Chains A and B, each alone.
Chain A
Amino acid sequence: MTAVDNTQTSSSSRRTIELVVLVGLVTAFGIISALVRFPLEEGEKLRDVIGIIIGAGLTFIFYSFLYRDNPLFKIAENLYVGVALGYGAIITWRQSLRPEVYDPLFRAVTSEAFWHELSYRVVPIVLGILLMTRLSKKHSWLSRYSYGLMVGWGAGMGIFVVTDSYILKQLEGAIRPLQKIVTDPDVAANLSFFDQAWPVVGSLVILIGTVSVLFYFFFSVPHKRLGSGFSRVGISYLMIAFGASFGYTVMGRMSLLIGRVQFLMFEWLKIKQ
């Protein structure tokens, strides 16, 4: 036998073993679910119990990806995409199309009411329909009117929102505590020296960090001598922030993992807390 034949044989036998293990695990899941969840307890609804079993099954299927990609994972993945699409479609229907288009127009009591409501909505409805022309090569230019309206509104509001919520608010936050503690005698009188100094030191740490990070990203002047040192301070701040953000994200994911394990233990297996 050649090396290629050996590889094919080992791969085939591995797949067989994996398939057997998969079937075994699915059977074990079904048996455990049946033993633990049935017969129903008082007050339990059948559809909720079936939902919990499906949720637990999907949880296990997604975790099976940690071993390797498999058919069950692909099924669950595609099902999830479809369910998310359907959910988004229904939410959009309930929150925007039905109250803003369907109910006012198709449930109008009189023809006057219909024309009155239509006069308010005809422009966005036409623009919404024009969006669909993006699917046609010949008529896609018509969708530019709709996109122009949305992009223009987004850009104009973006300038205001970004300036107000990010630039001004962030600058205000960077400067105000320092100024308030130092100049407000009423506040200063009620605080110990450490309590007075601590916010000032903290504000200075934040101020130096913010300016040095901005300077690190400021490429219009060469970072030489003092500038080089200051930009290195900025890099250090960035490294601490990236590390902290990483740690924070990992812990956020861990809490999700704990949530799934709790679901499996307390809802699927009904282990008493």
Chain B
Amino acid sequence: MWYKRTIPLVIVFVIGVLAFAHNYVPYPEADDFREHMTKWFMIIGGFGLFLGAYSLLHMHVSRIRRMQPGWAYSAFVFIGAAGMIIVGLWNDGYGPLESAPSTAKTWFDWGFDYVQIPCSATIFSILAFFMASAAFRTFRARNVNAALLLVAALLVMFGRVPASESVGAWFGQQGFFPKIADLIMEFPNLAATRGILLGMSLGAISQSLRILFGIERSYMGVGD
């Protein structure tokens, strides 16, 4: 039916063309339009968070209801979320004991500093072990290209630690290895990254055009 499929396609096309074209309009009305739309998306995005939160919590409710293996752990998702939301809303994060606004750290900040930061930093730092282990098992100089990859990785890693300066000092060139690491990052790495970025950019533009002209419609979801 036209109001189910055609109108969304028209909205996409009209808004897409306006979003693209207003950047080339040298009048303050164009800036006002962008600011207005940015506020709109802040509001719509705010409602979108409810959708995401519902989706996550619904999955954990289902796990608990069906008593799937490890269902009890899902309770901690609710404890964490409820804890942060309650302390975030209660007296603007200060809780019942202090008056807001205050210079003291809020309980909401406390949750962020002592729960979220340690968790995220530790999870990402764990990757150091897994990456090192995977590299030890897979990095083999079987051919020239593999050797280039291995040598570049080793030089960049070695050039970033203080020990490289000590080793360089033995040969009278303290900054030799850090300089080599910088050169690798500055020239071949930049060249390849630039090539990849240009390719990705062309791909992104073609994908955007496909969306604007209604060829790509996966955002519409399933159904008629």
Residues of chain A touching chain B, judged by Cβ–Cβ distance below 8 Å, are 47-48, 51-52, 54-56, 58-59, 62-63, 65-66, 71, 74-90, 92-97, 100-101, 121, 123-125, 127-129, 131-132, 134-135, 137, 140-141, 143-160, 162-163, 166-167, 170-171, 173-174, 202, 205-214, 216-217, 234-251, 253-254, 256-257, 259-260, 263
- Of B39, B116, B205, the contact of A83 (CB 8 Å cutoff): B116
Main SS at interface, chain A: helix
Asked if A163 and B44 sit within 8 Å, CB to CB, the answer is: no
Add 18 more A-B contacts to A140-B221, A217-B195 (CB < 8 A): A47-B110, A55-B114, A55-B117, A78-B77, A79-B80, A80-B119, A82-B76, A82-B77, A82-B79, A140-B223, A150-B41, A155-B16, A206-B190, A210-B192, A234-B195, A240-B149, A240-B152, A241-B152
Measured between beta carbons, the chain B residues less than 8 angstroms from A167 are 198, 201-202
23 examples of A-B residue contacts, CB within 8 angstroms: A55-B114, A58-B122, A59-B118, A62-B123, A79-B77, A93-B88, A137-B223, A141-B223, A152-B15, A152-B19, A156-B15, A157-B19, A159-B208, A162-B204, A167-B202, A214-B199, A240-B152, A243-B148, A243-B153, A244-B189, A247-B152, A247-B181, A250-B128
- Of B23, B49, B144, B212, the contact of A160 (CB 8 Å cutoff): B23
The CA of A74 and the CA of B160, in the complex, are separated in Å by 34
Asked if B194 and A62 sit within 8 Å, CB to CB, the answer is: no
Interface status of B13 (Cβ within 8 A of chain A): yes
- Of B50, B81, B195, the contact of A132 (CB 8 Å cutoff): B50
The CA of A259 and the CA of B123, in the complex, are separated in Å by 12
- Of B40, B80, B125, B186, the contact of A78 (CB 8 Å cutoff): B80
Measured between beta carbons, the chain B residues less than 8 angstroms from A166 are 197-198, 200-201
Asked if A205 and B191 sit within 8 Å, CB to CB, the answer is: yes
Asked if B77 and A85 sit within 8 Å, CB to CB, the answer is: yes
With an 8 Å Cβ cutoff, the count of chain B residues facing the other chain is 125
Most buried by B among A143, A240, A245, A260: A240
The CA of A235 and the CA of B189, in the complex, are separated in Å by 12
Asked if A128 and B44 sit within 8 Å, CB to CB, the answer is: yes
Measured between beta carbons, the chain A residues less than 8 angstroms from B73 are 71, 74-75, 77-78
Closest residue of chain B to A215 (Cβ to Cβ) is B195
Measured between beta carbons, the chain B residues less than 8 angstroms from A147 are 8, 219-220
Measured CB to CB, the closest approach of chain B to A18, in angstroms, equals 17
